Every structure is written in C-alpha cells, then in structure tokens.
Amino acid sequence: MSFPESFKLSQLAELLGTELDGDPKKEITGISSLERSTSKQISFITKKSYIPQLAETNAGAVICNKEFSNLYEGNKLVCSDPYLAYAKCTQIFKKQPLLGAGISEFAQINDSARVSESATISDFVSISEDVTIGDNVIIMPGTFIGKGSKIGKGSILYSNISLYDFVEIGSACVIHAGVVIGSDGLGFAKQNKTWVKIEHFGKVLIGDDVEIGSNSTIDRGSVGDTVIGNNVKIDNQVHIAHNVNIGSGTAIAGNSAIAGSTTIGKNCTLAGCSAIVDNISLTDEVHITAMSLITKSIKQSGIYSSGTPFMKNSDWKKNAVAFKRLHNLKK
C-alpha cells in the first residue's frame, strides 16, 4: 500500500483508529521524537519520564493515552495503546525503495529460474537454477540466491545477502543487508585429535511476515530443517543454529544465540545477548531478560533471568567471592 506525502490529522486518526482532539485539517508530513519534532510532525508519549518534553514539544500533534491527554493542550490522537499507534504511524510514513520492476542487465539469472514480471532484480544479483521469485519481490544489489530457493510475494531482500541452496522465504518478509541463511552449522564428530565434519542436508524454512536484521545468520538443518515461524522478528547479529524451530510471533533481540536442535515456542521474547543451549525447548510465552543463559528446558510460561545487573566494581568483586561460597552454606 502506498500513501501520500502528507496527511490531515483527521486522516491519520482514521488510519490509526484513534480519537482526534484538535484541528482535523492540520497537515502532518512526518514523525519524530517529542524533543525534535517540528510543527509539521507528529510524536508520541508512553512514559511519565517524558512529561517534561511533552510540555516543551513543538510537535504538530501527539499520540497519547487519556492520562497524558489531560496534560497536553495541543493537537492529539488519543488511544489506549499509543506505542502500537506509533508503530502503525511509522509504517504510514515509511518510504519504500523506489525501484521499477524488472531485471537489471547486470544481474545473473539462471535460465531455469522463475522470476515474476512484477519483481525487481537489481544490479549484480545472482539467481541460481530452479529458484522461484514471487510477485512484487525486491532484491537489492549484490545478493546471491542459491539453487532451489523460493522467495514469497512482496518480500524485500536488501544488499549483499547470501541464501544458500533450498532456502524458502515466505511472503511479506524483510531481510536486511549482510544476512546469511542456509550455511552449515557447527557439526563435527571427534576422531582421536581431529574433527570429522557432519554434512548438512536440511533446508531453512521461513514463514510469512518475518523480519531478519543485518548480519544475522541462520544455519540449515543437518537432518531435518531449520524452521522460522510466521511473524517472527529477529534483530541484527543474531545466530540461529541448525535444526532450531522458532514459533510464530517470537522476537529475538541483538547478539542473541540459539544453539542447535532447540525449540522456541510461540510469542516468546529473547532480550539482547541471550544465549540458549542446544537440544532444549521453551514453551509458548516465555520471556528471557538480557544477558541470560538458558541451560534447561522451560515448561511454564513466564519471565526468566540469569544475567547479573551492573554495580560498582568493588561490590561486584565482593559478590563474586560470596557466590563461590554459596554451596557451603547450610540451611
């Protein structure tokens, strides 16, 4: 869906499903923070810590709930979930890459590949044999698509992505620059003092409406497939090992790593720098806080932590010494 360059507040209120309190004819051309907004931009507030900025903002309108609405005299769009409305507002003002459909003369397309006429294939893209590219797919420069791979309709692949053979990506996915999908995982058997490689024969299967951040890596299955469910959101620099299965609606923040053959349930969240060991499972609605190491399966939904919050170094050293002595304590 494409949108005009500017909107009246009445139009935004209708698109976002919010209540308008203010001038319905006010023109809005973009979105910004409370501190930096101009009179032509809309902003939002979700936390009380931003009340001082609310009082000083130059924003043409503010998205807020009823509590904050009483503290602001300017134009506002009032709703029960301002953060969700803000997220939808960013989609309205996002400008998609302006590329005409067609295949660049500098792209390399195997004769057996099936590429939709509405797809955009940019310079120096390489598409191997038996690849299927769906309608309205956009592939940016320098991306490689291995044989037998499939890209669903409306997906966008940014620059310098590598898809190994037999990777399947669903519809309306966004894959950011530098992502590698389908490489072999860490699979080796020890023979005396050397390692014997375990070959990988599985695929990577990615559902619809998945977003994968820059420089993240997803390994193919060794036997069986690595599976990423619908509406999964993966941040930058995340590693997902072979045969991992991630349920729909799960979100994984940056620098997290999931070891092989682990299953993550639906609607889970992994905060930054989380680490999950191999061959365990997390049930649905499990939320892992930052810097946590998960070493056993989690069978009950909830919030779990193992990271240590920061403190003065002198206190941390004392606590580290005390931690080593915990096993000696008697009840």
Enzyme catalytic residues = 242
Show the tokens assigned to 131: 């690849």
Secondary structure letter of residue 49 according to DSSP: G
Q: Which of 8, 22, 31, 14 is nearest to 74 (CA)?
A: 22
Question: CB atoms < 10 A from the CB of 117, how many?
Answer: 8
Q: Which of 265, 272, 247 is nearest to 302 (CA)?
A: 265
- Pairing relation of β-strands 226-228 and 257-258? unpaired
Q: Which amino acid is at 146?
A: G
Q: Are 186 and 205 in contact (CB under 8 A)?
A: no
Q: Which residue has the tokens 């890209």?
A: 151
Residues ≥6 apart with Cβ < 8 Å to 229: 207, 210, 245, 246, 247, 248, 249, 250, 266
Alpha-carbon distance of 127 to 130, in angstroms, equals 9
29-39 burial code (b ≥16 CB/10 A, e <16):
eebbebeebee
Collapsed DSSP state (helix, strand, coil) of residue 299: coil
- Measured distance between the N- and C-terminal CA atoms of the chain, rounded to whole angstroms: 64
Alpha-carbon distance of 156 to 273, in angstroms, equals 27
Q: Which of 233, 118, 257 is nearest to 174 (CA)?
A: 233
Collapsed DSSP state (helix, strand, coil) of residue 141: coil
Query: In terms of residues, how long is the chain?
Result: 331
